Structure 1
Amino acid sequence: MKWLYRLISACMAFLFAAPLVWMLVVSIKEEGMKIITVLDWFKPPYSLDVYKEILTGTKLTAWIGNSLLVAVLVMVLTVSVAALAGFALSKIPFRYRTFMFFVVLAGLLIPGEATIIPLYQVAKDMDLLNSYQGLIIPALASPVAVIVLKSFFDGIPNDLLESVQIDGGGTWRIFFRIVLPLTRPALASMAILTFIGSWNNFLWPFLSITDDNLFTLPMGIPTLMSQYSEDYVKPMVINAIASIPIIILFVTFERQIVKGISMSGIKG
């Protein structure tokens, strides 16, 4: 039966990889190509001139930089906040701790679209629109990350933490020296998933940003695509360039991404 599983896996891999390969091949074709048969998509001549034109004649590189900046900051700050919140809910006894956990859990029941209007009004009142702060701060509250990390913190024996306290270790020492190293895989997985979510986020940047110098990729790409609606090569070049960072991220951290997806279903 192994050959059957391998055959099915190969077919599924081909189905997922074919659009990506087609995009990359078309992106190095010359403009104005004539397509009569399917094989014409893959026939030479090839050229990288369109890549040079897009990179030097548009703001795509600036938008990539914006996306990287926002995604990295959102990743670091979200995981930091979620780790602190998850640790408090898991290991620090305080009044109404169970109630606070259910408040965080209730955040999963509210779709993000339902909070867009009040979020926009708050951002407007705080003068956060058209700024990097407006792109970053609203994304920091992640109930999923808090609940997943709390689940991992719950798995750390309390006896271990109490032994550190007996030796004179305080709460911060326990958090940084004991808890975080033991939950490093969970932190890495949540960081990668948060990065991908921020990188692909469209709705909030679309509502909060009007200055094209602050556009992220999900916002900037449609504006460029609308200019080349009758051409195949330039849209493929734009998408190929935009896909490179996330492809590199996936190839490098494939195991952590898969582990993070599986962990996101853990119940607190």
Structure 2
Amino acid sequence: MKWFYRLGSAAIALIFLMPLIWMLMVSVKKEGMKITTLADWFVPPYSFAVYHEVMSETKLTHWVWNSFFVAVCVTIFTVIFAAMAGFVLSKIPFRYKTFMFFVILAGLLIPGEALIIPLYQVAKDMSILNSYQGLILPALASPMAVIILKSFFDGVPNDLLESVQIDGGGTLRIFTQIMLPLTRPALASMAILTFIGSWNNFLWPFLSITDDRMFTLPMGIPTLMNQYTEDYVKPMVINTISSLPIIALFLIFERQIVKGVTLSGIKG
């Protein structure tokens, strides 16, 4: 029975991996090859010439860098700001704390599309359209990250913090040396989910960027796809290059990603 479950799991995994395998195999085929049977997609000859052509003749690598840079900046600053806000809401007493928490919680009820027009107007008034600032700054406010990290900070005993205060530790020491290390799994999970969300973000870059040098991958790929409608190889090369960073991220941080999905309740 154990082998039956293992074989069944392997078969299901293979089914889900087939589109990825097909994409990789097609990307190393020669352009203009005649495909008559299913096996022709997977058998030699292979060539990496199209990879060199795409990377040298298009701005794809530049768009990969834009997406990576924006995603890293958004991840770092979002986690920092969300951690500080969650810590204050959880452990620092002040007036209207409950009201402030519900204001942040209400941010989850407002769809992002409803904020696009005022957000665009603010970005235009600040003259940050077609810039990294325009891509990064609007993405830093994450009510979900604040709420999730607050719930983790709530789980840290107050007695532990009081003992640190008795030893002369201030708020900054409590936050950096006590709270952050104890909630490292939650921080890692939120960082990974934030990175993936920023990497896949399309709507805001589509509205705020018109200069093709500032395109991110979700914006740039459709413009390239429109150029290659008769052949499969170049579109698959483009998809492979753009997918490799996020695939590598998933393979390296698989446990944290699964844990992050479990913690945040995100389904997709």
Give the TM interval when normalised to the shorter protein: over 0.9
In the alignment, structure 2 segments of 5+ residues that lack a partner are none
Provide the TM-score with structure 1 as the length reference: 0.97
CA distance in 2 between counterparts of 1:2 and 1:214 reads 52
Matched AA of 1:134: G
Matched residues in 1 for 2:10 and 2:210: separation?
44
Structure 1 distance, partners of 2:8, 2:183, is: 35
Say if 2:41 is the partner of 1:62.
Answer: no
SS in 1 for 2:226: helix
Q: How does 1:118-197 map to 2 (within 5 A)?
A: 118-197=118-197
Give the Cα–Cα distance (whole angstroms) in 1 for the partners of residues 5 and 208 of structure 2.
47
Q: Secondary structure at the match of 1:227?
A: coil
Q: What does 1:25-40 correspond to in 2, within 5 Å?
A: 25-40=25-40
Q: 2:75 maps to what in 1?
A: 75
Task: Report SS of the residue matched to 1:229.
Answer: coil
The Cα shift of 1:3 comes to 3.5
Within 1, Cα distance between the matches of 2:119 and 2:8? 45
The one-character-per-residue Cα deviations of 1:140-190 (angstroms, maximum 9, x if unpaired) are 011111111111100000000011111111101100010000001110110
CA distance in 2, matches of 1:194, 1:135: 14
Aligned residue for 2:227, secondary structure, equals: helix
Q: Distance in 1 between matches of 2:62 and 2:214?
A: 8
Task: Give the Cα–Cα distance (whole angstroms) in 1 for the partners of residues 262 and 72 of structure 2.
Answer: 22
1:204-249 residue CA offsets vs partner (Å, 9 max, x unmatched): 0000000011111111111111100111000000000001111110
1:64-108 C-alpha deviation (Å, 9 max, x unpaired): 111111000000000000000000110001111111111111111
Query: Could you list the runs of 5+ residues in structure 1 that have no partner in the other structure?
Result: none
Equivalent-residue separation in structure 1 for 2:203 and 2:14 (angstroms): 31
Aligned partner letter, 1:187? L
Q: Give the match's secondary structure for 2:231.
A: coil
Render the CA deviation track for 1:44-64: whole Å, top value 9, x for unaligned.
111000000001111111111
Q: TM-score, structure 2 length as denominator? A: 0.97
**Moved beyond 4 Å, runs of 4+:** none
Query: What residue is the counterpart of 2:259 in the other structure?
Result: 259
Distance 2:208 2:34 in 1: 41
- Stretch moving more, 215-224 or 257-266: 257-266
Number of residue-to-residue matches in the alignment:
266
Residues of 1 paired with 2:44 and 2:93: CA distance? 67
Aligned letter for 1:199?
W
Give the corresponding residue for 1:235: 235
Query: Distance between the aligned counterparts of 1:4 and 1:82, measured in 2?
Result: 45
Give 3-state SS (helix, strand or coil) of 2:30's partner. coil
Instruction: Give the AA of the match of 1:27.
Output: S
SS of aligned partner of 2:265: coil
The AA in structure 2 aligned to 1:133 is Q
Q: Once the 2 structures are TM-superposed, how far is the Cα of residue 109 of structure 1 from its aligned partner?
A: 1.1
**Percent of aligned pairs with the same amino acid:** 77
Could you tell me which amino acid in structure 2 is paired with residue 128 of structure 1? I
Q: CA deviation at 1:4?
A: 4.1
